């Protein structure tokens, strides 16, 4: 899967290929379909993508159906050469125009197109080397392995079902070599099977390659079962990450909408600071309402009660002010602020009530200190 991810750009460029492998011109030339300016723009991007390789000539260009995400293409390719008696190959760069006019051209890196017959099917496929050196003969050997007796015996052992290869749906369309193994796509690139292969080891019944895992488009089957579980786990983790990112974006949008574009935004930000200061004063007064009456006992219980009543009353007033300022602030945070304000105010009010009772009792005693 990692090899496919690293080649995602190439697969995007190739996704517009027709689904029938027997078509030897996967990008049919439509003379006059593109303007000279469009062809020049594609050529500039192609020259950036080719690296140190010689610039291949333009061999085909054209447009796709209206509304297509890639409405135009340009194929730059060297002439086909005989690689062997049954294999022909050429180096090429595929460029696609993304989006509507004027759009943006994107080009693949240079890669080989190979054409050959194997196991009763005609194959026109792209051989992409992600990590050097790569070997075209290995790519041809892979195509010979596909749908051979070795292929079907391994597929059955992994839990797959044998099938009769179809010229319309089972031709090899892409071989990716990432240096650690091979990813093979068959059939239409947007709706075909995918196989992960490695070179065979001793004891693999004389087969040259070994199937590690596969995803079958015709049935939706993923084999072996351990690989299916791995894919399902990865999908769940990706979905969880997507939901987390979405929630963070929504939260950021809500915060932004609360503080941006309002005519009194400066005033609201002022209330933010005033709220913070009022919460601090509320806490200070609440603590003072608990401690100060004891310090005033030397002046008498009635004096202590008066101080407790004044401080607890101030604490309650400040709590009410916090609620008011939160409604006027630019980013209301009622829950967190009131977690501190409510217990402090409750304790201060309780202290005031208790000292009021103590003060009343002291006032009723003859000769009590005033």
Cα separations in angstroms, 140 against 83, 87, 134, 135: 10, 8, 12, 9
Q: What digits encode the pLDDT tens for the residues 51-107? A: 999 999 999 999 988 888 889 999 999 999 999 889 999 999 999 999 876 789 999
Q: Is the pLDDT of residue 27 over 80?
A: yes
Six token digits for residue 296: 């005033």
Average the pLDDT over each of 10-14, 56-60, 81-85, 262-266 and give the range with the smallest value: 10-14
Helix (H) / strand (E) element for 34: namely: none
Tens of pLDDT, residues 102-121: 789 999 999 999 999 999 99
State the distance between the two ends of the chain, measured CA to CA, in whole angstroms. Answer: 86
**pLDDT of the residue at 110:** 92
Of residues 117 and 304, more confidently modeled: 117
Instruction: Name the token pair of 148.
Output: 């051979």
Instruction: Estimate to the nearest angstrom the gap between the alpha carbon of 262 and the chain centroid.
Output: 33
Round to whole Å and give the CA distance between 206 and 129: 26
pLDDT higher for 129 or 335?
Answer: 129
- Residue 333 banded pLDDT, cuts 50, 70, 90: low
Q: For position 226, what pLDDT does the model report?
A: 87
Does pLDDT of 279 surpass 50?
yes
The pair of three-digit structure tokens given for residue 187, joined into one six-digit string: 């059939």
Looking at per-residue pLDDT, the higher value among 259 and 236 belongs to 236
Mean pLDDT, residues 128-147 taken together: 90
For residue 28, give both structure tokens: 């049919």
* Mean pLDDT calculated for residue range 237-251: 87
| pLDDT score of 25 | 61
For residues 10 and 125, the answer to whether their CB atoms sit within 8 Å is: no
Residue 258, pLDDT > 70, answer no
pLDDT band at 8 (very low <50, low <70, confident <90, very high): very low
Give every CB contact of residue 165 below 8 A, 6+ residues apart in sequence. Answer: 119, 120, 121, 147
> Which pLDDT belongs to residue 143?
96
Query: Of 326, 195, 208, 330, which Cα lies nearest the Cα of 262?
Result: 330
Mean pLDDT, all residues of the chain: 81
- Of the pLDDT bands very low, low, confident and very high (cuts 50, 70, 90), residue 9 is very low
- pLDDT at position 204 is 67
pTM above the 0.75 mark? no
What is the reported pLDDT for 358? 79
Beta strands in 108-235, from DSSP E residues, in sequence order: 111-118, 121-129, 172-177, 182-186, 194-199, 209-215, 222-223
Q: What is the mean pLDDT of residues 119-124?
A: 92
The top-scoring range by mean pLDDT among 40-49, 193-202, 216-225 is: 40-49
Q: How far is CA 109 from CA 92, 113, 364, in A?
A: 8, 12, 98
pLDDT per position as a tens digit, 348-359: 788 778 877 777
- The pLDDT, as a whole number, for residue 2 is 39
Q: How far apart are CA 152 and CA 155, in angstroms?
A: 5
Position 112 scores a pLDDT of 93
> pLDDT, tens digit, for every residue of 165-211?
988 889 999 999 998 899 999 987 667 899 999 998 876 678 999 99
pLDDT attached to residue 5: 39
* Rounded Cα–Cα distance for residues 133 and 127 (Å): 12
């Amino acid at each position: 899967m990692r090899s496919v991810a690293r080649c995602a750009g190439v697969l995007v460029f190739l996704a517009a290929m027709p689904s029938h492998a027997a078509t030897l011109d996967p990008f049919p030339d439509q003379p006059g379909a593109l303007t000279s300016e469009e062809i020049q723009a594609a050529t500039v991007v192609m020259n950036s993508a080719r690296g140190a390789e010689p610039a291949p000539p333009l061999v085909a260009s054209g447009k796709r159906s209206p509304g297509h995400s890639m409405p135009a293409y340009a194929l730059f390719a060297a002439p086909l050469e005989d690689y062997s008696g049954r294999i022909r190959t050429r180096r090429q760069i595929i460029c696609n125009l993304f989006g509507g006019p004027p759009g943006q051209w994107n080009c693949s890196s240079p890669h080989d197109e190979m054409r050959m017959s194997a196991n009763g099917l005609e194959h026109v496929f792209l051989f992409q080397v992600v990590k050097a050196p790569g070997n075209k003969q290995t790519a041809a050997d892979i195509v010979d392995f596909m749908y051979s007796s070795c292929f079907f015996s391994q597929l059955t052992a992994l839990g797959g079902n044998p099938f009769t290869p179809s010229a319309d749906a089972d031709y090899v369309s892409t071989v990716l070599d990432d240096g650690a193994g091979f990813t093979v796509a068959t059939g239409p690139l947007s709706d075909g099977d995918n196989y992960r292969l490695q070179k065979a080891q001793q004891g693999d019944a004389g087969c040259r390659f070994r199937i590690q895992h596969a995803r079958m488009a015709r049935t939706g089957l993923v084999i072996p079962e351990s690989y299916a579980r791995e894919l399902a786990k990865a999908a769940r983790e990706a979905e969880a990450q997507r939901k987390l990112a979405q929630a963070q974006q929504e939260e950021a949008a809500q915060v932004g909408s609360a503080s941006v574009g309002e005519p009194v935004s400066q005033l609201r930000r002022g209330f933010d600071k005033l709220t913070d200061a009022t919460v601090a004063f509320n806490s200070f007064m609440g603590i003072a309402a608990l401690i100060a009456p004891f310090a005033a006992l030397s002046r008498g219980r009635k004096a202590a009660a008066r101080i407790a009543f004044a401080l607890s009353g101030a604490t309650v007033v400040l709590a009410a002010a916090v609620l008011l300022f939160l409604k006027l602030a630019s980013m209301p945070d009622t829950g967190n602020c009131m977690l501190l304000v409510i217990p402090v105010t409750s304790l201060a009010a309780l202290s005031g009530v208790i000292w009021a009772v103590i003060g009343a009792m002291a006032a009723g005693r003859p000769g009590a200190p005033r």
